[in-house]
Amino acid sequence: MIFFIIFFIIFFIIFSIANTTLIFADLPLKLDNNENFVSSKSYEYFFDKKNHLLINKLYYKSENEKDNSTKKYLAISESNLLMHLNMKNFFNIDITKDDVQSEILVSEVTDTRISEKISFFYKILFFKIRLKMDTTLSFYENRAHIPMNIEVPANGQSYLHFGSGILYYWKSEQIEFDFTNEQETLPKFNMKLGLEELIKVGFNANYCPENNTSCSYKLKAKQLDGKIVLIEMLVPKEIVKRGFFPIWVEDMEEFNKKMNWGYQSKRSKDSRDSKDSKDRKISAVYFEVSGLLKGQFVMDYWIIIK
Protein backbone atom coordinates (compact mmCIF):
# COMPACT_ATOMS: atom_id res chain seq x y z
CA MET A 1 0.00 0.00 0.00
CA ILE A 2 2.72 2.48 0.96
CA PHE A 3 4.50 1.91 -2.36
CA PHE A 4 1.29 2.62 -4.27
CA ILE A 5 0.85 5.85 -2.32
CA ILE A 6 4.37 6.99 -3.21
CA PHE A 7 3.76 6.03 -6.86
CA PHE A 8 0.57 8.07 -6.99
CA ILE A 9 2.38 11.03 -5.41
CA ILE A 10 4.89 10.74 -8.23
CA PHE A 11 2.00 10.63 -10.72
CA PHE A 12 0.67 13.91 -9.34
CA ILE A 13 4.04 15.63 -9.56
CA ILE A 14 4.66 14.35 -13.07
CA PHE A 15 1.22 15.59 -14.11
CA SER A 16 1.76 18.98 -12.56
CA ILE A 17 5.38 19.92 -12.80
CA ALA A 18 7.92 17.26 -13.82
CA ASN A 19 11.43 18.07 -15.04
CA THR A 20 10.88 20.94 -17.44
CA THR A 21 12.61 22.50 -20.41
CA LEU A 22 11.23 25.90 -21.38
CA ILE A 23 11.59 26.92 -25.02
CA PHE A 24 10.71 30.38 -26.27
CA ALA A 25 10.20 30.56 -30.03
CA ASP A 26 8.77 32.90 -32.68
CA LEU A 27 10.79 35.90 -31.51
CA PRO A 28 10.44 38.71 -30.51
CA LEU A 29 9.90 37.22 -27.07
CA LYS A 30 11.59 38.27 -23.87
CA LEU A 31 12.50 36.21 -20.83
CA ASP A 32 13.31 37.82 -17.48
CA ASN A 33 14.67 35.27 -15.02
CA ASN A 34 14.79 37.74 -12.16
CA GLU A 35 11.10 38.61 -12.48
CA ASN A 36 10.09 35.13 -13.73
CA PHE A 37 8.16 36.23 -16.80
CA VAL A 38 7.93 35.92 -20.58
CA SER A 39 6.55 38.77 -22.66
CA SER A 40 5.46 39.18 -26.28
CA LYS A 41 3.34 41.66 -28.21
CA SER A 42 0.23 39.75 -27.14
CA TYR A 43 0.78 38.86 -23.48
CA GLU A 44 2.92 38.81 -20.35
CA TYR A 45 3.20 35.46 -18.58
CA PHE A 46 4.53 35.48 -15.00
CA PHE A 47 5.63 32.11 -13.62
CA ASP A 48 5.07 30.84 -10.15
CA LYS A 49 8.54 31.02 -8.58
CA LYS A 50 8.46 27.44 -7.31
CA ASN A 51 6.70 25.88 -10.28
CA HIS A 52 7.05 27.28 -13.80
CA LEU A 53 4.00 25.37 -15.02
CA LEU A 54 1.75 27.40 -12.74
CA ILE A 55 0.70 30.93 -13.67
CA ASN A 56 1.31 33.68 -11.15
CA LYS A 57 -0.16 36.31 -13.48
CA LEU A 58 -1.22 36.36 -17.13
CA TYR A 59 -1.81 39.72 -18.81
CA TYR A 60 -2.97 40.09 -22.38
CA LYS A 61 -2.35 43.19 -24.43
CA SER A 62 -4.56 45.22 -26.75
CA GLU A 63 -2.91 47.72 -29.06
CA ASN A 64 -4.49 50.96 -30.27
CA GLU A 65 -3.18 51.59 -33.80
CA LYS A 66 -4.30 55.23 -33.81
CA ASP A 67 -1.98 56.40 -31.03
CA ASN A 68 0.29 53.31 -30.75
CA SER A 69 -0.76 52.83 -27.14
CA THR A 70 -1.07 49.43 -25.45
CA LYS A 71 -3.50 48.42 -22.71
CA LYS A 72 -2.86 45.46 -20.42
CA TYR A 73 -5.61 43.34 -18.88
CA LEU A 74 -5.01 40.88 -16.03
CA ALA A 75 -6.69 37.67 -17.18
CA ILE A 76 -5.50 35.02 -14.73
CA SER A 77 -3.63 35.05 -11.43
CA GLU A 78 -2.46 32.68 -8.67
CA SER A 79 -3.08 29.33 -10.34
CA ASN A 80 -2.64 26.27 -8.15
CA LEU A 81 -2.79 22.47 -8.21
CA LEU A 82 -4.24 20.24 -5.50
CA MET A 83 -4.64 16.48 -5.33
CA HIS A 84 -6.84 14.33 -3.10
CA LEU A 85 -6.51 10.53 -2.95
CA ASN A 86 -9.46 8.78 -1.29
CA MET A 87 -7.69 5.50 -0.60
CA LYS A 88 -9.29 2.09 -0.14
CA ASN A 89 -8.37 0.52 3.21
CA PHE A 90 -6.08 3.44 4.08
CA PHE A 91 -6.22 7.06 5.18
CA ASN A 92 -6.82 9.85 2.65
CA ILE A 93 -3.85 11.73 1.21
CA ASP A 94 -3.80 15.42 0.27
CA ILE A 95 -0.98 16.92 -1.80
CA THR A 96 -0.40 20.58 -2.67
CA LYS A 97 2.23 22.49 -4.60
CA ASP A 98 3.78 23.46 -1.25
CA ASP A 99 4.97 19.85 -0.91
CA VAL A 100 7.24 20.28 -3.93
CA GLN A 101 10.62 22.00 -4.25
CA SER A 102 12.57 22.80 -7.41
CA GLU A 103 15.91 23.90 -8.74
CA ILE A 104 17.14 25.27 -12.08
CA LEU A 105 19.73 22.93 -13.56
CA VAL A 106 20.76 24.94 -16.61
CA SER A 107 19.75 27.98 -18.67
CA GLU A 108 20.65 28.37 -22.34
CA VAL A 109 20.37 31.35 -24.67
CA THR A 110 20.88 31.05 -28.44
CA ASP A 111 20.02 33.20 -31.46
CA THR A 112 16.70 31.46 -31.87
CA ARG A 113 15.59 30.37 -28.42
CA ILE A 114 15.87 30.66 -24.66
CA SER A 115 15.56 27.48 -22.61
CA GLU A 116 15.67 26.48 -18.97
CA LYS A 117 15.86 22.99 -17.56
CA ILE A 118 14.32 22.67 -14.13
CA SER A 119 14.43 19.69 -11.79
CA PHE A 120 11.67 19.02 -9.25
CA PHE A 121 11.52 16.72 -6.26
CA TYR A 122 8.91 15.77 -3.70
CA LYS A 123 9.92 15.97 -0.04
CA ILE A 124 8.26 13.45 2.28
CA LEU A 125 9.57 13.23 5.84
CA PHE A 126 13.35 12.85 5.45
CA PHE A 127 13.20 11.57 1.89
CA LYS A 128 13.34 13.30 -1.48
CA ILE A 129 11.75 11.70 -4.56
CA ARG A 130 13.39 13.14 -7.66
CA LEU A 131 11.55 12.93 -10.98
CA LYS A 132 13.25 11.84 -14.19
CA MET A 133 10.72 12.89 -16.82
CA ASP A 134 10.94 15.92 -19.09
CA THR A 135 8.36 18.11 -20.75
CA THR A 136 8.75 21.11 -23.01
CA LEU A 137 6.93 24.36 -22.31
CA SER A 138 6.76 26.49 -25.49
CA PHE A 139 5.80 30.15 -25.92
CA TYR A 140 4.80 31.79 -29.20
CA GLU A 141 3.72 35.31 -30.07
CA ASN A 142 0.05 34.78 -29.19
CA ARG A 143 -0.07 31.41 -27.42
CA ALA A 144 1.57 29.12 -24.88
CA HIS A 145 1.77 25.33 -25.13
CA ILE A 146 2.03 23.32 -21.90
CA PRO A 147 2.22 19.55 -22.42
CA MET A 148 1.67 17.52 -19.24
CA ASN A 149 3.14 14.07 -18.73
CA ILE A 150 0.82 11.64 -16.97
CA GLU A 151 2.30 8.40 -15.65
CA VAL A 152 -0.06 6.10 -13.75
CA PRO A 153 1.88 3.40 -11.84
CA ALA A 154 -1.09 1.15 -11.02
CA ASN A 155 -4.78 0.69 -11.81
CA GLY A 156 -6.69 3.37 -9.92
CA GLN A 157 -9.85 1.36 -9.30
CA SER A 158 -7.86 -1.20 -7.29
CA TYR A 159 -6.72 1.40 -4.76
CA LEU A 160 -8.89 4.52 -5.03
CA HIS A 161 -12.49 5.42 -4.32
CA PHE A 162 -14.40 7.62 -6.76
CA GLY A 163 -13.81 11.25 -5.82
CA SER A 164 -10.02 11.01 -6.02
CA GLY A 165 -8.65 13.62 -8.34
CA ILE A 166 -6.71 16.72 -9.25
CA LEU A 167 -8.06 20.25 -8.91
CA TYR A 168 -6.47 23.06 -10.94
CA TYR A 169 -7.72 26.49 -9.93
CA TRP A 170 -6.96 30.15 -10.52
CA LYS A 171 -8.41 33.62 -10.10
CA SER A 172 -10.20 35.01 -13.17
CA GLU A 173 -9.51 38.71 -12.81
CA GLN A 174 -10.66 40.86 -15.76
CA ILE A 175 -12.12 38.07 -17.89
CA GLU A 176 -15.40 36.17 -17.74
CA PHE A 177 -15.82 32.77 -19.38
CA ASP A 178 -18.60 32.26 -21.93
CA PHE A 179 -20.75 29.11 -21.58
CA THR A 180 -23.29 29.86 -24.33
CA ASN A 181 -21.63 27.58 -26.92
CA GLU A 182 -21.52 23.96 -25.72
CA GLN A 183 -18.62 23.12 -28.07
CA GLU A 184 -16.50 25.95 -26.60
CA THR A 185 -16.91 25.12 -22.93
CA LEU A 186 -16.34 22.31 -20.43
CA PRO A 187 -18.74 19.76 -18.92
CA LYS A 188 -19.84 20.96 -15.47
CA PHE A 189 -19.20 19.19 -12.19
CA ASN A 190 -22.14 17.12 -10.90
CA MET A 191 -21.67 15.35 -7.57
CA LYS A 192 -24.61 13.00 -8.29
CA LEU A 193 -22.78 11.25 -11.13
CA GLY A 194 -20.77 8.08 -10.63
CA LEU A 195 -17.76 7.12 -12.75
CA GLU A 196 -19.75 5.44 -15.56
CA GLU A 197 -22.17 8.38 -15.86
CA LEU A 198 -19.25 10.83 -15.73
CA ILE A 199 -17.55 9.12 -18.67
CA LYS A 200 -20.71 9.48 -20.78
CA VAL A 201 -20.68 13.23 -20.11
CA GLY A 202 -17.07 13.69 -21.20
CA PHE A 203 -16.81 11.20 -24.04
CA ASN A 204 -19.24 12.45 -26.68
CA ALA A 205 -19.19 14.00 -30.15
CA ASN A 206 -19.03 17.58 -28.82
CA TYR A 207 -15.56 16.94 -27.45
CA CYS A 208 -14.35 13.76 -29.16
CA PRO A 209 -14.63 13.77 -32.99
CA GLU A 210 -14.65 10.27 -34.42
CA ASN A 211 -11.47 10.60 -36.49
CA ASN A 212 -9.35 12.28 -33.79
CA THR A 213 -7.17 10.46 -31.27
CA SER A 214 -7.75 13.18 -28.65
CA CYS A 215 -10.77 14.96 -27.21
CA SER A 216 -10.78 18.78 -27.18
CA TYR A 217 -12.12 20.73 -24.19
CA LYS A 218 -12.24 24.52 -24.36
CA LEU A 219 -12.78 27.48 -22.06
CA LYS A 220 -13.43 30.65 -24.01
CA ALA A 221 -13.55 34.06 -22.35
CA LYS A 222 -15.93 36.77 -23.45
CA GLN A 223 -14.36 39.35 -25.75
CA LEU A 224 -12.73 42.31 -23.99
CA ASP A 225 -11.26 45.23 -25.94
CA GLY A 226 -11.23 43.18 -29.13
CA LYS A 227 -9.32 40.23 -27.64
CA ILE A 228 -10.34 36.74 -26.51
CA VAL A 229 -8.54 34.38 -24.12
CA LEU A 230 -9.03 30.72 -25.05
CA ILE A 231 -7.87 27.74 -22.99
CA GLU A 232 -7.87 24.41 -24.83
CA MET A 233 -7.03 21.00 -23.35
CA LEU A 234 -6.39 18.02 -25.64
CA VAL A 235 -6.80 14.73 -23.79
CA PRO A 236 -6.14 11.27 -25.34
CA LYS A 237 -9.37 9.34 -25.88
CA GLU A 238 -8.02 6.30 -24.07
CA ILE A 239 -7.95 8.15 -20.72
CA VAL A 240 -11.16 10.11 -21.38
CA LYS A 241 -12.85 6.69 -21.58
CA ARG A 242 -11.54 6.09 -18.06
CA GLY A 243 -13.08 9.32 -16.72
CA PHE A 244 -10.02 11.60 -16.93
CA PHE A 245 -10.94 14.92 -18.58
CA PRO A 246 -11.44 18.55 -17.42
CA ILE A 247 -14.67 19.27 -15.55
CA TRP A 248 -15.71 22.84 -14.78
CA VAL A 249 -16.24 23.60 -11.09
CA GLU A 250 -18.61 26.55 -10.73
CA ASP A 251 -18.31 27.00 -6.97
CA MET A 252 -15.01 26.14 -5.28
CA GLU A 253 -16.47 26.32 -1.77
CA GLU A 254 -19.40 24.06 -2.65
CA PHE A 255 -17.02 21.59 -4.30
CA ASN A 256 -14.93 21.37 -1.13
CA LYS A 257 -18.01 20.74 1.01
CA LYS A 258 -19.54 18.07 -1.25
CA MET A 259 -16.28 16.25 -1.96
CA ASN A 260 -15.05 16.60 1.63
CA TRP A 261 -11.53 17.40 0.47
CA GLY A 262 -10.74 19.66 3.44
CA TYR A 263 -8.50 22.12 1.61
CA GLN A 264 -9.80 25.24 3.33
CA SER A 265 -7.19 25.02 6.08
CA LYS A 266 -4.39 24.68 3.55
CA ARG A 267 -5.23 27.60 1.31
CA SER A 268 -4.21 31.22 1.77
CA LYS A 269 -5.95 33.47 4.28
CA ASP A 270 -7.75 35.32 1.49
CA SER A 271 -9.06 32.12 -0.08
CA ARG A 272 -10.42 30.75 3.21
CA ASP A 273 -13.06 33.49 3.28
CA SER A 274 -15.89 32.29 1.01
CA LYS A 275 -17.12 35.82 0.35
CA ASP A 276 -13.65 36.93 -0.69
CA SER A 277 -13.30 33.83 -2.90
CA LYS A 278 -16.46 34.73 -4.82
CA ASP A 279 -15.43 38.38 -5.14
CA ARG A 280 -12.14 37.25 -6.64
CA LYS A 281 -13.90 34.90 -9.11
CA ILE A 282 -12.02 31.68 -8.40
CA SER A 283 -12.24 29.35 -11.41
CA ALA A 284 -11.48 25.64 -11.11
CA VAL A 285 -11.13 22.53 -13.28
CA TYR A 286 -11.31 19.01 -11.85
CA PHE A 287 -9.82 15.75 -13.19
CA GLU A 288 -11.06 12.42 -11.78
CA VAL A 289 -8.24 9.84 -11.48
CA SER A 290 -9.89 6.81 -9.85
CA GLY A 291 -10.70 5.14 -13.19
CA LEU A 292 -7.23 5.38 -14.74
CA LEU A 293 -5.35 2.26 -15.78
CA LYS A 294 -1.61 1.76 -15.49
CA GLY A 295 0.24 3.55 -18.28
CA GLN A 296 1.81 6.76 -19.55
CA PHE A 297 0.03 9.56 -21.42
CA VAL A 298 0.53 13.15 -22.56
CA MET A 299 -2.13 15.86 -22.32
CA ASP A 300 -1.71 19.13 -24.25
CA TYR A 301 -2.72 22.42 -22.64
CA TRP A 302 -2.92 25.60 -24.75
CA ILE A 303 -3.48 29.22 -23.74
CA ILE A 304 -4.34 31.33 -26.80
CA ILE A 305 -4.79 35.09 -27.16
CA LYS A 306 -6.68 36.07 -30.31
Q: pLDDT tens across 233-263, in order?
A: 999 999 999 999 999 988 887 888 778 776 5
DSSP 159-200: HB-TT-EEEEEEEE-S--B--SSGGGS-PBP-TT--HHHHHH
Check residue 95 and give its pLDDT.
Answer: 77
Check residue 50 and give its pLDDT.
Answer: 74
Check residue 273 and give its pLDDT.
Answer: 45
Q: How many domains does the chain divide into? A: 1
Check residue 110 and give its pLDDT.
Answer: 54
What span, in angstroms and rounded, lies between the C-alpha atoms of 202 and 288? 11
Check residue 271 and give its pLDDT.
Answer: 43
Instruction: Domain of residue 249: give its range.
Output: 2-305
Q: Are the C-beta atoms of residues 283 and 171 closer than 8 Å to each other?
A: yes
Check residue 155 and give its pLDDT.
Answer: 86
Name, in order, each residue with C-beta under 8 angstroms of 216's C-beta and a sequence gap of 6 or more.
207, 208, 209, 232, 233, 234
Q: Are the C-beta atoms of residues 96 and 167 closer than 8 Å to each other?
A: no
Check residue 188 and give its pLDDT.
Answer: 87
Low-confidence ranges of the chain (pLDDT < 50): 3, 13-14, 16-18, 131-132, 265-279
Neighbours of 235 (CB within 10 A): 26
CA angle 53, 54, 58 (to 5 degrees): 110
pTM: 0.82
Check residue 267 and give its pLDDT.
Answer: 42
Check residue 276 and give its pLDDT.
Answer: 46
Name, in order, each residue with C-beta under 8 angstroms of 184's C-beta and a sequence gap of 6 or more.
178, 218, 220, 230
What is the Cα 48 distance to its own chain's centre? 13
Q: Are the C-beta atoms of residues 161 and 90 closer than 8 Å to each other?
A: no
What span, in angstroms and rounded, lies between the C-alpha atoms of 253 and 267? 12
Q: pLDDT tens across 118-162, in order?
A: 666 665 555 555 544 556 778 888 888 887 777 787 888 888 888
* H/E element, 85: strand 69-85
